[in-house]
Structure 1
Amino acid sequence: MVTKIIEGVSFDLKEDFCFDFLSEYGQVFRVFDKQDSGYISFGVQNANNKLFLKIAGAPTVRSNYSSAESINRLKSTVSIYQDLRHPKLIEIIDHKEIKEGYLTVFEWIEGECMGKQYGAFDKFLNLPLEDKFNIYKDILLFHQHVNQRGYIAIDFYDGCIMYNFTSKQTMICDIEFYSKKPVINKFGRMPGSSRYMSPEEFQLGTEIDERSNVFVMGATAFQLLGGGSDRSLEKWKADEKLYTIALKAIDIEKENRYRTIDEYYDAWNNACSSLS
């Protein structure tokens, strides 16, 4: 293992890697080196702004992917971010080959990630109900857009949600497995957090479609407003009407769910309106 220090920020790698290109973008102020994705990421600041740099090719400590696999996967994400540009999606600014790797450059988001692997998970769960409703609405609106663009959301979970607790702004930050329709399960167990995944995402050869994404949105509601994997009414913090709607969204039988994200959003939004 190699420990590197760049401008006072230290991190570990399995082997050495050249990061000289970072100085083109600014001064490093943060590193994200503990992910198992095969990427290493940096926050950098220059005279104009802050940027988020995601790099494939460096031999990260926790990754089981080869450098070639990581590079090819990161390259494939560029078109997804470009196709799905949206006010609630982190903006991709640049991408290019680097020595023995690949680089993508994004805007820097001031906020905290909801993912369980980060320190803010409990802060999200303890937010006032109104703030949770606003976060959830932003998530639903973004996924309406995803569907309209002909994509299926794969591997959406709390680690994709960024939130600024001061400005109360929600952003989506990680969509690299989102895929153009049609999507067939070729894995058996698809990428993702089991807390959010529909039954068909564990079944080889099944189609992952809009009703599958309805399930993901329902599971997200239970994570924000209920007991997460405990989907009992006793753990639900919002109105019982909304509980019934979310419960239908996560029905094990696909045909019993809402047919579309739009249909689910309308049911949810109408129920919210009737409560105000």
Structure 2
Amino acid sequence: MIDLLTVHRSPHRPEEMVRGAGRVLARYDHRTQDSGNVSWIVRTPEADLFVKTAGEDASPPDGAPTPLLDHAARVALLRTAVEISRTVDHPVLARLRNVAETPTGPMLIYDRAPGRLVGVPSEHRQDPGSSYRRFAAAEPGIRLAVFDQLLDAHRALAAAGWVACDLYDGCLMVDLATTRLTLIDLDTYQRGAFPNGMGTMFGSSRFMAPEEFEFGATIDARTTVFTLGRLICHFGTGLTEDLADFCGGGAAGRVIARAARPAREDRFASVGEFADAWSTARSSTRP
């Protein structure tokens, strides 16, 4: 039996290690994503774990999509995820338990997050039973509690210098029974402001700021503010995008409207400023 929580280097490939650690509950590869990463949920004697790797340094299987990034770039992003875990201690961030070096790069071993992933493939977004629709229709108190956690976590990330990239509903694991949020897949976050070197950056266009489509534009805290505002608007209005439907009331709705303004200079200058304004607005509506 392989103990994934204590092994730090192994000559074995990740698939062998995972299968030697316990019962594989799920495998995520080219059949469910185009990143090139390969991940597993594995039940071990200690706990249920989520294991993430950069996949193989090889051509994709026949019929599989070509990964968006090559193997070396995927490895670099996993090391960014490790750096985030080491620089920011916040209960909303997925808990990284161990990193094991293997012949194909690092294996990141996390606690399995409770709840369900809010983001679903576009063809499932109309399904009322999907986690996407269920979160959007959840009681206002549940959604607001999740938004509070989302902003508080990003306050901590921003304080450590991290700028959000590719933040979308596929990063949100929500347990509706406990209102607990877990943030996952923050590998593409970057330390400090940087220029848009791609033109159209990674992300979901539903939540991306205008500068994420403009080559050479500055990506910084105001960009993070926009994406957070769009996420909260999208789900806080029950998907209508009309702030008259916002579950947090008018004052909080006005804060969200400012966060998601197209012009950078019209938004909050920092995540902390946004979070403070949100907290003040929320306090004014609590009984």
Higher relative contact order (CA 8 A, sep 6+): 2
1:57 to 52, 55, 58: 55
Counterpart pick for 2:189 among 175, 178, 187: 178
Aligned to 1:108: 112
Picking from 38, 41, 45, the partner of 2:39 is 41
Q: Percent identity?
A: 27
Q: CA deviation at 1:45?
A: 1.2
Q: TM-score, normalised by structure 2?
A: 0.83
For residues 21-45 of structure 1, the C-alpha deviation after alignment (integer angstroms, 9 at most, x for no partner) is: 2134322122223111111211111
| Counterpart residue type for residue 85 of structure 1 | D
Distance (whole Å) between structure 2 residues aligned to residue 18 and residue 79 of structure 1: 21
Change (3 A) 1:80 1:63: farther
Sort the Cα spacing of 1:68 and 1:211 in 2 relative to 1 into closer, same or farther, 3 A: closer
Aligned to 2:274, which of 248, 251, 264? 264
1:164 is matched with 175
Structure 1 residue 152: Cα displacement: 0.6
SS at match of 2:50: strand
- Measure how far apart 1:235 and its partner are: 4.6
The separation in 1 between residues aligned to 2:236 and 2:14, in whole angstroms, is 45
Which residue does the alignment assign to 2:3? none
For the Cα contact (< 8 Å) 2:80–2:188, is it kept in 1? no
Q: SS where residue 31 of structure 1 aligns?
A: strand
1:29 match: 25
5+ unaligned residues in a row in structure 1: which ranges?
1-16
Indicate conservation of the 8 Å contact 2:208/2:227, yes or no.
yes
Relative distance call for 1:266 and 1:186 in structure 2 (3 A) is same
CA offsets 1:121-151 (integer angstroms, 9 cap, x no match): 1111110001000000000000000111011
TM-score (normalizing by structure 1):
0.86
> Does 2:23 align with 1:19?
no
Is the partner of 1:19 in helix, strand or coil? Answer: helix
**2: distance between equivalents of 1:261 and 1:70?**
27
The aligned runs of 1:188-267 (5 Å cut-off) are: 188-226=199-237, 228=239, 231-267=241-277
Give, as a single letter, the amino acid of the residue that structure 1 aligns with 2:200. Answer: R
Q: Kindly indicate which of the two structures has a greater share of residues assigned to strand.
A: 1
2:78 and 2:243 map into 1 onto residues whose CA distance is 41
Give the SS at the match of 2:144: helix
Separation in 1, partners of 2:71, 2:190: 22
- Structure 1 residues 240 and 86 mapped into 2: Cα distance closer, same or farther (>3 Å)? same
Label 1:147 to 1:71 Cα distance change in 2 as closer, same or farther (>3 A): closer
Cα separation, 1, equivalents of 2:15 and 2:277: 50
Query: Residues 181 and 69 from structure 1, CA distance in 2 versus in 1: closer, same or farther, beyond 3 angstroms?
Result: closer
Q: Deviations over 1:162-190 (max 9, x none)?
A: 11122221111111011100222111111
Aligned-residue CA RMSD (Å):
2.1
Question: Does structure 1 conserve the Cα–Cα contact (< 8 Å) formed by 2:199 and 2:216?
Answer: yes
1:129 aligns with one of 140, 143, 159:
140
Q: Using a 3 Å threshold, how does the CA distance of structure 1 residues 127 and 102 change in structure 2: closer, same or farther?
A: same
**Who is 1:275 aligned against?**
285
Deviates more, 1:100-109 or 1:121-130: 100-109
